[in-house]
Amino acid sequence: MSSAKRQTPLFHIGDWVTFHYGPQRESARVVEDRGPLGVNGRRLYRVQIDEERGEASAFEMPENELEITQPPVRQSYDVRYVRQGTTNIWRATIRKKSLHKGVKAEGAIAYSTESWEGEQEDAQRFAIVTVLLEVDPRFSDRGFHVDPNAWRELAERAGILADEMFLSRHPRAQIEHAPLGVL
């Protein structure tokens, strides 16, 4: 009778891990501890990537190829564009929104506008671009102090990314940014 030693798992369901995935490092969430099923009793875990895009890809990885990590944290911003009268001048206002843990998408991720049925794109008067920026995971800790200059730099970066997306839909628009308030 052999007395197999019980190996204590290094990771648990819900943990965020990183590993080499092709030429880059990828982060994923542990969704299942498969136990010591691998070669020579290596512990395997089922990990899942790309969950937020609805294209979830789950597969098994050996424990020795995984490293624990913090979940990605993104700060969201809404950049609101309002047309000034019938001109092609748009006033942009940047608003810091919420922090999102575990979201991997980043950059200008959404464009929305209002229009009446049959109305041409030139007649639009309002638009919002949503931007997600990667931030230090400690930003989500209540006790962590974030330098106000960091918030200002993030807001400016969000404005640049939002302007690119907005101008792809309104190439002749002239954008005037409202001064950044307290963020």
Q: What is the pLDDT of residues 29-77, one digit of tens each?
A: 899 999 998 888 899 999 988 655 556 688 999 999 999 988 888 999 9
In whole angstroms, what separates CA 141 from the centre of its chain?
17
Residues 124, 157 within the same domain? yes
In a domain, 42, yes or no: yes
DSSP H/E element including 83: strand 73-83
pLDDT at position 54: 53
List the domain range (segments joined by +) for residue 151: 73-177
Residues 56, 106 within the same domain? no
Q: Which residues contact 104 (CB under 8 A, 6 or more apart)?
A: 27, 49, 50, 52, 72
- Yes or no: say if 15 and 28 are a contact pair by the CB < 8 Å rule: no
Mean pLDDT calculated for residue range 132-150: 85
Give the percent of the chain with pLDDT over 70.
Answer: 90
Residues 63, 77 within the same domain? no
In a domain, 2, yes or no: no
Residues 113, 52 within the same domain? no
DSSP H/E element including 165: helix 148-169
- pLDDT at 5 exceeding the cut of 70: no
Q: How confident is the model at residue 3 (pLDDT cuts 50, 70, 90)?
A: very low
In a domain, 117, yes or no: yes
Residues 145, 100 within the same domain? yes
Mean pLDDT calculated for residue range 3-27: 82
What is the average pLDDT score of the chain? 87
The tokens describing 4, both together, are: 């197999």
Virtual torsion, Cα 118, 122, 127, 130, nearest 10 deg: 100
User: In whole angstroms, what is the distance from residue 150 CA to residue 144 CA?
Assistant: 13
pTM above 0.75, yes or no: no
Rg over CA atoms, the chain: 23
Q: Which residues contact 65 (CB under 8 A, 6 or more apart)?
A: 19, 20
In a domain, 153, yes or no: yes
User: In whole angstroms, what is the distance from residue 92 CA to residue 110 CA?
Assistant: 16
Give the percent of the chain with pLDDT over 90.
Answer: 49
Residues 65, 20 within the same domain? yes
Mean pLDDT calculated for residue range 94-118: 88
Residues 125, 46 within the same domain? no
Mean pLDDT calculated for residue range 118-139: 86
pLDDT at position 69: 87
